[in-house]
Structure 1
């Protein structure tokens, strides 16, 4: 993943220190980043919201972190990520990991790419030093550099 992070996470996929009114709004922001980067169509954003409505807040994978995604579909144009850091955390309904301040949007073009990118991101985010540094990073370049370490 480290070698591909620039392609999977271009500047256009970042929204830093933006407000969200609720979890749906937070996912819409993640979808906006995916669309802006050319990874998905707007339909994928609706699919990510539908997934949480059907399956609950399982996407809140760590304290303060949601990995917004849905199954690969025609709405995914190519595999990529968006990175949304909220100015004020929002509740997703996760008993253990709310409130959420970082929403990473994940679009996988096929099952293998989807799982590969997902596990690479999860691997990077279990490192407490990295997550603390990511929370303070002020630019897309800084964030990508931390993820590559």
Structure 2
């Protein structure tokens, strides 16, 4: 199911300007198919400014999100791989670099739980994340997922 949800919503870039640019870039497939609005992107960025880097959910992985009423039109998920990584916190610690941005949008508090559970199985698998860091194509990433 996770592959189906992510279909055509995975992108790879070499670098981004900063963490805000990472969130905006990662969300573009969801804007393109009208799953979310631009307001949702701004809400995700404001959440990080307000609450800190809580969206870094595992080593190398961030999952920005916000409330359904901030602009989610349908349950959705997109993934951006940043080859050079981006810092959300301490810019002197290479261990803090994030390589994967999973943008999650949910229309309510329950309907996305199955997708989230499957996603956490991927995120919690350190070997899989390391293999995804080395992956050079969207197809390779999708195989690992």
- TM-score bracket, normalised by the shorter chain, equals 0.7 to 0.9
Match of 1:7 in 2: 4
Residue 74 of structure 1, CA deviation: 5.5
Are 2:38 and 1:42 aligned? yes
Query: Which blocks of at least 5 consecutive residues in structure 1 are unaligned?
Result: none
Residue 7 of structure 1, CA deviation: 3.4
Worse-superposed segment, 17-26 or 54-63:
17-26
Match of 2:24 in 1: 28
Matched residue count: 143
Q: 1:70-122: CA deviations, max 9, x gaps?
A: 12125111111111111322211169862111111111121112343223211
Asked if structure 1 preserves the Cα contact closer than 8 Å seen for 2:62 and 2:100, the reply is: yes
Asked if structure 2 preserves the Cα contact closer than 8 Å seen for 1:63 and 1:98, the reply is: yes
Match of 2:47 in 1: 51
| RMSD of equivalent CA atoms | 2.1
Worse-superposed segment, 132-141 or 60-69:
132-141
Asked if structure 2 preserves the Cα contact closer than 8 Å seen for 1:57 and 1:94, the reply is: no
Normalised TM-score (structure 2): 0.85
Distance between the aligned counterparts of 2:25 and 2:134, measured in 1? Answer: 20
- The verdict on how the C-alpha distance between 1:116 and 1:94 changes in structure 2, with shifts beyond 3 A counting, is farther
Query: Which blocks of at least 5 consecutive residues in structure 2 are unaligned?
Result: none
Match of 1:87 in 2: 83
Worse-superposed segment, 93-102 or 39-48:
93-102
